[in-house]
Chain A
């Protein structure tokens, strides 16, 4: 089972890597969007999938990152990629400040508070808060990123930037998932009283998960701003948060391959359904319902954690 999965992942990775050579600019750009949402959804997955916090306002941090990049880039002309960590930092700090008082809220109460956050941020952006966000016009004239002297401009160039970033994200988040920290998150997701009893400072861990997720979303905002060269508040509305939420749950909470597949489906299918014109979103909605009915835990739920007890006990017990 495990080997088969690995073969599929490798084959998938190779096809993806080569895809700009046989896809046209449009499909490459679809894949770019899928890539951006994959990274966003992976960052949400830390909060929603691993820590089990009902967070439906991830677009807020994504927006903060994008606007940080846009504002600093257009006023001080600092190269885009230098602003990558800055965007992450701003989003992460914001998460630290806002999450502290709300992190103890139970499930659905947290859900509405995070929805509130994304709406407050959007309204602030629309109303041109502090005179720096450009109101509903947004900010335009953001420069393109330059990587080692190469100006990134065309869809296929962005493809490698975005999926390169996605690969790094997948690697790091996979390590995180398998670390003590990741196990602690899963523990408090399943039973936070028991986790607290076992010496896990649950509020602290939840907060860290929140900040990591927000930090990463902020960095995606940076790339999004550079790719679009114009950003407007409408790109970060509540619906975007819902889309991310759906990706994580449709793919499989807490499963990296699941989340990747989820973003392919949630972003790719409406594009494929374009041939149905005005009915495309109708079909998409029905698809979501059907998918959840047949795969209630998501399409690719995480494999159960395995611990190599066999190694400890010698060869006798196979797991």
Chain B
């Protein structure tokens, strides 16, 4: 009897998701629970804020937009379900998601459903090398950052370099890119290994790294671990310069490390709205602070906002919600659209074009200064 009831329950809930007409629906797939919940909830906040703004300004071509959020839990299996769920709800495009492996699990489903997917944090190279027509991303790719990391390290004049990643798909990709370029150039990689993310004590790793005597450490993982590494490095009285990848761009890094330990830390990142003079970036910062009473956390969440803005712009410009027209517009016609993270154009693979990366350095007061 219970099973029958249970089944009836499923049916009822399905009926609840009936389509409401008259609005343009845009999906957001984000990790709002699970290990990346903080990024995912930021994404949700920003996308909802921007949608409210668009609606307050009269919507797109007179139609309001509606955001449908699905949780991908930061894991591929849940993401595949979230993608199935979104593709049955009459949406035009999907914004998201964060992790590369998670995006990958959903790519095929959106492509089959003919939905545009604008990923915001998935930097793995292969995602856009499959020839998927409807896939795009507002974030740069790992190879681009690898090149910038290489140039930065080279111009710093460092001879022996330690590279540390966290074995995530993203961090390892970046570490490998940079390592290959550095080795080709004749630099000496004295240390290359992975830490276990989400731990608290990295002193064993730092001790081992210190013994290898590098001139610089390039850490490609996330801000939480980077903050702890900096803090524990200072406790050991070890003064080696640290360079971080773009996943370290989060003000929480300084909170975790403390101002004195974070000072001098350098990292690569697409520019955050705080550093851009553009009108859009400033307006966004004001609105965000007003609504949530804080500064936006990671740049990836801001990139999901850009995802929404480019889709909205494409709908506005083409006057259509047909995916083929929108994709054609985004890939060929959109030219230097003023985004929250600088100007946006896409190539025909769906990758964002242009030199996006900047080098940042943390000053003595814990502020991120663009170099």
**What are 17 A-B pairs with beta-carbon distances under 8 A?**
A12-B7, A25-B88, A26-B85, A33-B81, A135-B169, A136-B167, A137-B100, A137-B169, A137-B172, A232-B76, A232-B169, A261-B3, A272-B9, A274-B70, A274-B85, A275-B13, A278-B33
Which residues in chain A, 252-266, are within 8 Å of chain B measured between CB atoms?
261, 264-265
Tell me if A268 and B80 are in contact (CB < 8 A).
no
Q: How far is the CA of A30 from the CA of B81 in the complex (A)?
A: 7
Which residues in chain A, 16-58, are within 8 Å of chain B measured between CB atoms?
23-27, 29-30, 33
Q: How far is the CA of A136 from the CA of B167 in the complex (A)?
A: 6
Q: A24-B88, A268-B6, A274-B70 are in contact. Are A280 and B33 (CB under 8 A)?
A: yes
Residue B101 at the A interface, CB < 8 A? yes
Q: How far is the CA of A140 from the CA of B168 in the complex (A)?
A: 16
Q: Report chain A residues within 8 Å CB of B71.
A: 274, 277-278, 280
Tell me if B167 and A135 are in contact (CB < 8 A).
yes
Q: A229-B108, A261-B2 are in contact. Are A29 and B101 (CB under 8 A)?
A: no
Interface string of B158-177 (1 = CB under 8 A from A): 00000000011100110000
Tell me if A234 and B84 are in contact (CB < 8 A).
no
Q: Report chain B residues within 8 Å CB of A23.
A: 14
Interface string of B16-40 (1 = CB under 8 A from A): 0000000000000000110001000
Most buried by B among A25, A127, A272, A299: A25
Interface string of B29-68 (1 = CB under 8 A from A): 0001100010001000000000000000000000000000
Smallest Cβ-Cβ distance to A264: which chain B residue: B6
Residue B126 at the A interface, CB < 8 A? yes
Q: How far is the CA of A252 from the CA of B126 in the complex (A)?
A: 44
Q: How far is the CA of A277 from the CA of B168 in the complex (A)?
A: 26
Partner of B10, one of A27, A127, A229: A27
Residue A298 at the B interface, CB < 8 A? no
Dominant secondary structure at the A interface: helix
Q: Report chain B residues within 8 Å CB of A152.
A: none
CB distance from B42 to the nearest CB of A (A): 13
Q: Report chain A residues within 8 Å CB of B69.
A: 277
> Given A26-B81, A137-B126, A278-B37, list of 13 further CB < 8 A pairs?
A25-B84, A25-B87, A25-B88, A27-B14, A30-B81, A137-B100, A138-B169, A140-B104, A228-B77, A228-B105, A234-B101, A277-B69, A278-B71
Q: How far is the CA of A269 from the CA of B308 in the complex (A)?
A: 30
Residue B75 at the A interface, CB < 8 A? yes
Please provide the 9 A-B residue pairs with the shortest distance between their CB atoms, ordered closest to farther. Answer: A26-B85, A26-B84, A29-B84, A24-B88, A136-B169, A232-B101, A26-B88, A137-B169, A12-B3
Q: A12-B3, A229-B108 are in contact. Are A135 and B172 (CB under 8 A)?
A: yes
Q: Report chain B residues within 8 Å CB of A27.
A: 10, 14
Residue B4 at the A interface, CB < 8 A? yes
Residue B243 at the A interface, CB < 8 A? no
Smallest Cβ-Cβ distance to B75: which chain A residue: A234
Tell me if A278 and B101 are in contact (CB < 8 A).
no
Q: Report chain B residues within 8 Å CB of A235.
A: 75-77
Q: Report chain B residues within 8 Å CB of A274.
A: 70-71, 85
Tell me if A271 and B81 are in contact (CB < 8 A).
yes
Q: Report chain B residues within 8 Å CB of A268.
A: 6, 10
Tell me if A230 and B32 are in contact (CB < 8 A).
no
Tell me if B3 and A8 are in contact (CB < 8 A).
yes
Q: Report chain B residues within 8 Å CB of A92.
A: none
Tell me if B81 and A29 are in contact (CB < 8 A).
yes
CB distance from B27 to the nearest CB of A (A): 12
Residue A126 at the B interface, CB < 8 A? yes
CB distance from B199 to the nearest CB of A (A): 14
The tally of CB-CB contacts under 8 A between chains A and B is 97
Q: Report chain A residues within 8 Å CB of B2.
A: 261, 299
Q: A24-B88, A135-B167 are in contact. Are A230 and B81 (CB under 8 A)?
A: no
Residue B294 at the A interface, CB < 8 A? no
Residue A288 at the B interface, CB < 8 A? no
Residue B204 at the A interface, CB < 8 A? no
CB distance from B347 to the nearest CB of A (A): 22
Residue A102 at the B interface, CB < 8 A? no
CB distance from A227 to the nearest CB of B (A): 8
Q: Report chain B residues within 8 Å CB of A229.
A: 108
Residue B211 at the A interface, CB < 8 A? no
CB distance from B198 to the nearest CB of A (A): 12
Residue A132 at the B interface, CB < 8 A? no
Smallest Cβ-Cβ distance to B176: which chain A residue: A135
Which residues in chain A, 213-266, are within 8 Å of chain B measured between CB atoms?
228-230, 232, 234-235, 261, 264-265
Interface string of B263-291 (1 = CB under 8 A from A): 00000000000000000000000000000
Partner of A136, one of B10, B13, B105, B168: B168
Which residues in chain B, 153-205, are within 8 Å of chain A measured between CB atoms?
167-169, 172-173, 194
Q: Report chain B residues within 8 Å CB of A264.
A: 3, 6
Tell me if B84 and A155 are in contact (CB < 8 A).
yes
Q: How far is the CA of A271 from the CA of B4 in the complex (A)?
A: 18
Residue B124 at the A interface, CB < 8 A? yes
Residue A281 at the B interface, CB < 8 A? yes
Q: Report chain B residues within 8 Å CB of A24.
A: 14, 88
Interface string of B309-327 (1 = CB under 8 A from A): 0000000000000000000
Which residues in chain A, 99-125, are within 8 Å of chain B measured between CB atoms?
none
Smallest Cβ-Cβ distance to A299: which chain B residue: B2
Q: How far is the CA of A15 from the CA of B11 in the complex (A)?
A: 12
Tell me if B77 and A33 are in contact (CB < 8 A).
yes
Q: How far is the CA of A302 from the CA of B338 in the complex (A)?
A: 64
Smallest Cβ-Cβ distance to A277: which chain B residue: B32
Q: How far is the CA of A206 from the CA of B87 in the complex (A)?
A: 46
Q: How far is the CA of A268 from the CA of B11 in the complex (A)?
A: 12
CB distance from B310 to the nearest CB of A (A): 26
Residue A97 at the B interface, CB < 8 A? no
Most buried by B among A232, A265, A280: A232
Residue A11 at the B interface, CB < 8 A? yes
Q: How far is the CA of A113 from the CA of B194 in the complex (A)?
A: 24
Partner of A272, one of B10, B101, B104, B169: B10
Q: Report chain B residues within 8 Å CB of A299.
A: 2
Most buried by A among B71, B75, B81, B167: B81
Tell me if A126 and B167 are in contact (CB < 8 A).
yes
Tell me if A11 and B4 are in contact (CB < 8 A).
yes
Smallest Cβ-Cβ distance to B6: which chain A residue: A264
